[in-house]
Structure 1
Amino acid sequence: MDTTGQEPELRGGLNRGLGPLLQLRGCYAPGTDAQNDHTRREIMAALEQLQSEVACSLCLEDFKEPVSISCGHNFCRPCIELCWAKAEGNVLCPQCRETIPEGTFRPNRVLGNIAELVKRLQSEAATAAATPVGNAICARHQEPLKLFCQQDEAPICVICRESRDHQSHKVLPIEEAAKDCKKLIQSELQKLKRKRENAISRQLQDGLTIKQHLEKIEVERDLVVNEFDQLHQFEQKQKSLFLDELQKLQEEMEEKQKADAEKAGHLSTLIEDMETICQQSDSEFLQDIKNILRRSRDFQKPEFTSNFTPKLVAFSLQNAALKLTLKTFKETFASQLKEYEQQARAPELNDQLKGILLSTDSH
């Protein structure tokens, strides 16, 4: 049977699991101290990854009598036989659904050996993880860790003590070093607890202060809205007055323009009438002379002349004054805001500002 298809997949899975174990070979010893905890965790993770590669996808447990089928997948022999016994028609791979000719398989003893090895390694690793620190042994020399190197801050064995790495270092018996380190830890622990108490106290105080500040922010927000509403109402009122005056002046000009046009029309009619009667006979001419002269004298009366120029000049000056006032207001407002902000940051004004805040809150 051709089983070449299974080799890359199986080899890749085993490499993923065995790779970390091979890299860590020689770095792990059962029951090592805290310095080797990281190595221990790496080994356990590698074993878990390797275990996933030697687990049957049907029963999800370690392989029992593993067999390989033509598509390259592996299963427990009892699992695949039970699966195919229930099949109707073509026999398929339970994992990739490929048709398996005649439902054949062959034992995979290598995979079975690996599954047993992984199970044994897991058992040893679990036993090592549960070994007390006091029974820790040196990963390099397999000797008990009875000494503590103060410079490297790590337990060592008597052989490590004589090596070049630790020969010039100061060492202590493991029990004495543990006692000193526990005292140091207790001292640091007390400092941290005091620091935590201060942080909690400061948090409570800051919480009350922040609550007061948040209430003050709401008050200030209402004041800002109220002041700007009043400013907006004043601006709208002045704007309406200004525009009303301009509208009134415009209407006066339009009425004057209309009156002038009507007067010009009446003058044209009078001129035409006077020219017409001058062409009449004497008796006809004199019959309407009184009315013609009255109409002519009415136009000769002095008229009231409207001079709109001074009013326009006044409006232009008012507009210029408004523009200058707004510009000054903007510049002064921004400058004062910046000045007040700087003053508020001055330490000598803190008490004064607190008094202002308290007096404002009391009102």
Structure 2
Amino acid sequence: MASALDASSLAEDLLCPICLSLFRDPRMLECGHSFCAACLEPCVPKGQGRGLCPECRHPFALRRVATNWALCSLAEKARLLKLDEGAQPGGKGSGWSICLEHEEPLKLFCSQDEGPVCVICRDLPQHRGHDFLPIKNAVQKYQDKLKASLVPLKDNLNSVTEDQRRQQENIAELESYTQDLLGYITEEFEVLHQILQEKEQGMKETVGRLKEENREEMEERLKELDEEVTFRSETLSMARVGLDTSDHTAFLRGIKELMRRVQEDQSSQGEEEEEDGASDEGSSGDEDDSTDEDENVANGKEEEGDEDDANGEEEEEEDEDGDIVAVDPALEEFKESLDFEAWQKMLGTIQADTVHDGSITWH
């Protein structure tokens, strides 16, 4: 029996953490963790060369992933020795169906602890009052749950992937827009070059600062979307593997973590929808504020009214894009405020300041 347990322990070390089967073409990441090459593919977003380790979340570059030859050799030997084949429910073989503590077959599944147990484990105090199912019934129960979750998991992944694509487009739009704006500023300052040299440099720095602040926020959100895409891809992949597995005991050993990931995926999507609803309510309140600001414009406060209009456009764009970061409307506001003809009359006193919220004021 000691020899059987040693073989069981060895084979367990040769299991891929994702598919829970003996490694096939194992690849080792920079962090030291190894996974089957096929299991690693969903961890890298389509069209990108970097992903996150499924175990420690450490970033890795796909081009630096190397084959783990030692692990590959050991897995092949274990496969030849059939160490990955579990014992039958009624026997005491050297597979995965033996309770290491009591050396009895793992015939039952504890619904409270969500793990396989033997008949001796069932009668212990720590399992008193618990509900138990036969292994086959438990497998069918959880596979039915996984099957029902495949559609929402796929929909959630598609949704965040679409947000990821649109965020990348907005970053490209930001680059194009700021380049055009900088060119426009340069052309106009050629006429006023002697007087406006310092002013020109200051305005370029303002645009650059707005760009960097906007880009930093965009890239931070893109990073979050990358991580979310990876997490949802891994969860979907693990769910599909769970539905196709023939190793029931190994499947149930990992079912607790798998169901936790499934619930986390679904609950996080629900939270995002609640946040979108709260954002819509906030936008309605802002429209009332815009009405008050229109009254201020009638009293002569045109500049404050202009700022309200810009804020209204920003809120409208946020509603369209959902939870992705759009190009900062302050950039367009900045361009519209460039009245070169008027500036020629007050070049000696004009001064621009950037407020913390990104808006531009002139005095």
- The structure with higher relative contact order (CA 8 Å, sep 6+) is 2
TM-score w.r.t. length of structure 2: 0.33
TM-score w.r.t. length of structure 1: 0.33
Q: Mark the structure with the bigger radius of gyration.
A: 1
Structure 1 or 2: more helix by fraction: 1
